[in-house]
Structure 1
Amino acid sequence: MTGEAALSRRFVSEALQNPHNAALLERLPFLGLPDVWLVAGCLFQTVWNLQTGLAPTANIKDYDVFYFDASDLSDDAEQAVQTRVTALFSDLPIAVEAKNQARVHLWYERWFGYPYAPLQSARNGIERFLVPCTCVGLQPGPEGSDKPPTLYAPYGLDELYAGLLRPNPACPHLPLFEAKAASYRERWPWLAIEAGGLPV
């Protein structure tokens, strides 16, 4: 097994040590959403918790679900999905947020102050997180199979395990990066921040 494959297996195994991640991935197929993924903080922060000796669920503010449905870009349609998601996971003591990646460009600039080109898939959305090492997603294995979740980590996992935070050229919004990185390091002080190539 190559080093990259071994690291991928380790990541999936560690992400699933968070019981909420495991429950989300088990139930996501019931929603019938197109191109659906469990993404971002709930995954990489579980790994950082384990590296820090914390409980897998510590310091995780919410759990994010991405899907891609270009057939209806309305806010009402996304809210209807959110209502279903909230109901499906109502027994879990967590907040789960579902976002249709087909419509991010419609609201991103209004919320964050930067233009945002339309996405073509949920994976495309994962690629644009502010910090490259946090660009990770897990997709449930085929229904009724014992296959592990599919991992998407477009920039690899080395920087995630090294705790290296740097701006993502695919989403070069430096003030947003700096705020995000500072929030991460407040919770996991061993993380290293490189803004503009310089350690912070």
Structure 2
Amino acid sequence: MDHLRYSGLSFDHQCAAFLAIVSADPLLGETLARVRALALPDWLVVSGALYNSVWNHLTGKPPGYGIKDVDLFYFDDADVSYDAEDAVIRRAARHFEGLALPVEVRNQARVHLWYPEKFGRPCPRYMSSSDSVSYFASRTHAVGVRYDTDGELDLVAPFGLDDIFSFRITPNRALDNQRTHEAKGARAKACWPEITVVPW
């Protein structure tokens, strides 16, 4: 099947294909350029907007199909107060005004402060934006990109890319996130029926 043409290839081949698809996506291209200009510390665009764009490309769907928003992480442990993060969120809202997709901004240095109340269980104190990605409910979703100092797109993918290119949502049991894995898997399968959701 043509949508699986990158499945099982080497990481280098998959990385090149992934970055080429993301770079060519018109919605992501403009968003990443704006994110870069915002210049948040240790920033990383992560998850759905990336792998969904790859699935759209491989299944012939239009850019933006099935994508709710763009998740933008940053890491700033100098001030982990709600007020400091809220100020960044408000500044970002003005900066991203007019984009086709809304951008959700979160400081990964303070996730451990609100996570237990929201989800009823603790989560580790993350050390960086990249660190937080490795705790996503599904290994498939653990992917992020940012520009390096040379202006090239840099990939963060702690579990590789084969799940994405195999249209397979695989659980990540680093945290007790079964509900999130199942809910996101069901939503994805409704948009891309080619997907297989691996049980928790």
Same fold (TM over 0.5): yes
How many angstroms apart in 1 are the aligned matches of 2:20 and 2:175? 29
The alignment's TM-score, normalised by the length of structure 2, stands at: 0.90
Give the root-mean-square deviation of aligned CA atoms: 1.5
Q: Cα distance, 1:183 vs. partner?
A: 1.2
**2:100 matched residue in structure 1:** 93
Structure 1 outlier segments of 4+, above 4 Å: none
> Matched residues in 2 for 1:37 and 1:132: separation?
17
* CA deviation vs aligned residue, 1:76-103 (integer Å, no higher than 9, x gap): 1111111111111112122101100000
| Count of residue correspondences | 192
For residues 106-153 of structure 1, the C-alpha deviation after alignment (integer angstroms, 9 at most, x for no partner) is 1112222221111110001111111101110001132xx4x4210011
CA shift at 1:164, angstroms? 1.1
- Sequence identity of aligned pairs in percent? 35
Find the counterpart in structure 1 of residue 3 from structure 2: none
Asked if 1:150 corresponds to 2:157, the answer is no
Kept in 2, the 8 Å contact 1:114–1:173? The answer is: no
**Is 2:54 aligned against 1:47?**
yes
Greater Cα offset, 167-176 or 128-137? 167-176
- 2:171 maps to 167
Task: Report the TM-score, using the length of structure 1 for normalisation.
Answer: 0.90
For structure 2, which runs of at least 5 residues remain unmatched after alignment?
1-8
> Matches of residues 31-180 of structure 1 in structure 2 within 5 Å?
31-142=38-149, 145=150, 147-180=151-184
Q: Do 2:27 and 2:63's aligned partners in 1 also have CA atoms closer than 8 Å?
A: no
Give the distance between the partners of 2:181 and 2:43, measured in 1 at CA: 25
